[in-house]
């Protein structure tokens, strides 16, 4: 009997780079001890291509490609639709990542039960039993009669079922438990995840179904499995929990069919995930007595404002070099703001430990909180309390200038709605017409801002 030649390769479990020989260090992503021997499929299976984007055809002129406006359809949840950029695009592959308990299965179960009223839905669960899922759906009082369920972890059998059922939306919960017969490796490993995801992606692109894969994340918040997974999918959505676990935040980190800056907010209740339609003030907790170092800023998340509390603590460093720590903020940004405060604000912070925290587990991704961070640091350093009805936003530049940010007037109006009566903002953002109920001070430089407090 002819011996089947088994092809093996060495693959980095972090970035998916392949090597002909084992080595301790991955030269592609600089990680150590991540390269493992994997058994590759004996033959590349017909029709399987990584990140394959549709049926192959001859070379065509771009202008001659006929295209129909992609008909998006709703996921059944307004917040989810907003994060996706307006609903599901047929033939797209969506990856939903998040910690265990983030609510990935819950949000998918809820939306799929509603989407099933107008679309054929197949929900494949490899983690929970159908009894568990049905129990949860009943408890959440979801319409259950139209969702097709399958408890399966074999890629081939899932695809077989999909061929015969012809669904329009397929959910794979989760990609880490899927197993392809052609690959001789444990589920959850690099090669299994990659092969399974590639097979599902190819299926979605050729059949036009919306394919949603659930993916677990590792401790450092990156998706478990090969990085190629992110390259393969069209949209990557991350679900995370706030510090007090009451809210769930949904953000896209990659989107081929829409913007990536939208934030979806849900509240986790005993009746499942509820949409928070107006989340602008959910992270504010007003206390009776204001403390030094605390200040409210307003971020712009996609299309909506979000009020956040910035807290800072400046204490003299006890030993060694002073510590600079930011939670919810970029570390480099804090270092830069400290340098600007030293140079242009005339404060000496070189012997101080500086801690900055964004309350509520929010991550600040834009520069508009710079000025609030700077003033919060100064407020803590001077041990002076800032007024509780003060709102601050603006970008800090290296020469101490305060630059305007987008949507200035809308940010101010949101502040008025929540009872703020004064604001320190970049001069460029100061409204030409006075906003009723709000005294706005426009500043050009950090020195001017320090004079204003």
In the list 13, 92, 105, 176, the residue contacting Mg ion (rule: CB under 5 A) is: 105
Q: Is 98 annotated as a binding residue?
A: yes
Record the tokens describing residue 162, joined without a space: 């999909």
> Which listed residue (44, 47, 54, 101) binds ligand TYD by CB under 6 A?
101
C-alpha to C-alpha distance for 355 and 311, rounded to whole angstroms:
8
180 annotated to a ligand binding site: no
What tokens does 278 get? 């107006």
The nearest distance, CB 205 to Mg ion, in angstroms, is 25
428 is in an annotated binding site: no
Interacting residue with ligand TYD among 13, 77, 92, 105 (CB under 6 A): 105
Q: Check residue 98 for interaction with ligand TYD (CB under 6 A).
A: yes
* SS3 state of residue 241: strand
102 vs 116, which CB is nearer to ligand TYD? 102
Q: Interface with Mg ion includes 106 (CB under 5 A)?
A: no
Looking at 97, 272, 400, 408, which residue binds ligand TYD (CB under 6 A)? 272
36 binds ligand TYD, rule: CB under 6 A: no
Provide, rounded to whole angstroms, the least separation between the CB of residue 248 and ligand TYD: 9
The residue (of 98 and 187) whose beta carbon lies closer to ligand TYD is: 98
**C-beta of 217: minimal distance to ligand TYD in Å?**
10
Q: Does the protein bind ligand TYD through residue 131 (CB under 6 A)?
A: no
Chain-centroid distance of CA 325 in Å reads: 22
Closest CA to 275 of 78, 76, 117: 78
The window from 94-102, 141-149, 199-207, 222-230 that contacts ligand TYD (CB under 6 A) reads 94-102
Which residue stretch of 64-72, 93-101, 304-312, 348-356 sits at the interface with ligand TYD (rule: CB under 6 A)?
93-101
**Stretch 242-271 residues interacting with ligand TYD (CB under 6 A):** 268, 270-271
Size of the site for ligand TYD (CB under 6 A): 14
Of the residues 97, 103, 264, 305, which one makes contact with ligand TYD according to CB under 6 A: 103
Backbone angles phi, psi at 217, to 5 degrees: -110, 155
Which one of ligand TYD, Mg ion, none is in contact with 24 (Cβ closer than 5 to 8 A by kind)? Answer: none
Asked whether the beta carbons of 263 and 304 are under 8 A apart, the reply is yes
Q: Could you tell me which of 378, 386, 328 has the C-alpha nearest to residue 349?
A: 378
Q: Interior CA angle at 119 toward 117 and 121, to 5°? A: 100
102 labeled part of a ligand binding site = yes
> Residue positions in the annotated binding site?
98-105
Residues interacting with ligand TYD, by CB under 6 A? 98, 100-106, 136, 140, 268, 270-272
Residues interacting with Mg ion, by CB under 5 A? 105
> Residue positions in the annotated binding site for ATP?
98-105
């Amino acid at each position: 009997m002819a011996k089947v030649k088994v092809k093996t390769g060495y693959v980095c479990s972090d970035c998916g780079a392949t090597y002909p020989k084992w080595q301790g260090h991955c030269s592609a992503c600089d990680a150590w001890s991540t390269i493992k021997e994997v058994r590759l499929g004996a033959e590349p299976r017909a029709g399987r291509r990584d990140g394959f984007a549709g049926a192959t055809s001859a070379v065509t002129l771009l202008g001659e490609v006929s295209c129909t406006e992609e008909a998006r359809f709703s996921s059944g949840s307004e917040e989810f639709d907003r994060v996706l950029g307006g609903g599901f695009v047929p033939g797209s592959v969506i990856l939903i990542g998040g910690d265990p308990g983030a609510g990935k299965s819950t949000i998918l179960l809820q939306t799929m039960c509603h989407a099933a009223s107008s679309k054929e839905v197949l929900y494949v669960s490899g983690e929970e039993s159908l009894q568990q899922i049905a129990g949860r759906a009943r408890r959440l009082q979801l319409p259950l009669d139209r969702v097709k369920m399958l408890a399966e972890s074999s890629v081939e059998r899932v695809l077989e079922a999909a061929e015969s059922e012809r669904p329009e939306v397929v959910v794979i919960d989760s990609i880490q438990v899927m197993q392809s017969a052609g690959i001789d490796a444990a589920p959850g490993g690099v090669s299994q995840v990659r092969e399974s995801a590639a097979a599902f992606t190819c299926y979605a692109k050729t059949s036009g179904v919306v394919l949603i894969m659930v993916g677990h994340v590792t401790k450092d918040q990156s998706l478990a499995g090969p990085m190629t997974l992110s390259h393969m999918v069209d949209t990557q959505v991350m679900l995370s929990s706030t510090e007090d676990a009451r809210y769930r935040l949904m953000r896209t980190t990659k989107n081929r069919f829409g913007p990536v800056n939208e934030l979806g907010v849900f509240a986790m209740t005993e009746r499942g995930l509820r949409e928070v339609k107006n989340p602008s003030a959910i992270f504010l907790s007003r206390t009776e007595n204001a403390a030094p170092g605390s200040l409210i800023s307003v971020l712009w998340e996609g299309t909506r404002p979000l009020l956040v509390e910035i807290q800072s603590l400046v204490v003299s460093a006890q030993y060694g070099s002073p510590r600079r720590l930011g939670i919810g903020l970029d570390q480099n940004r804090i270092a830069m703001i400290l340098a600007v405060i030293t140079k242009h604000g005339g404060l000496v912070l070189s012997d101080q430990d500086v801690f900055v925290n964004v309350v509520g587990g929010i991550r600040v991704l834009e520069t508009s909180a710079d000025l609030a961070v700077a003033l919060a640091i100064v407020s803590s350093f001077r041990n002076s309390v800032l007024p509780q009805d003060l709102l601050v936003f603006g970008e800090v530049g290296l020469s101490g200038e305060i630059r305007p940010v987008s949507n200035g007037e809308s940010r101010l109006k949101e502040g008025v709605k929540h009872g703020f009566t004064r604001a320190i903002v970049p001069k460029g953002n100061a409204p030409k017409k006075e906003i009723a109920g709000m005294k706005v001070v426009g500043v050009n430089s950090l020195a001017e801002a320090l004079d204003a407090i």
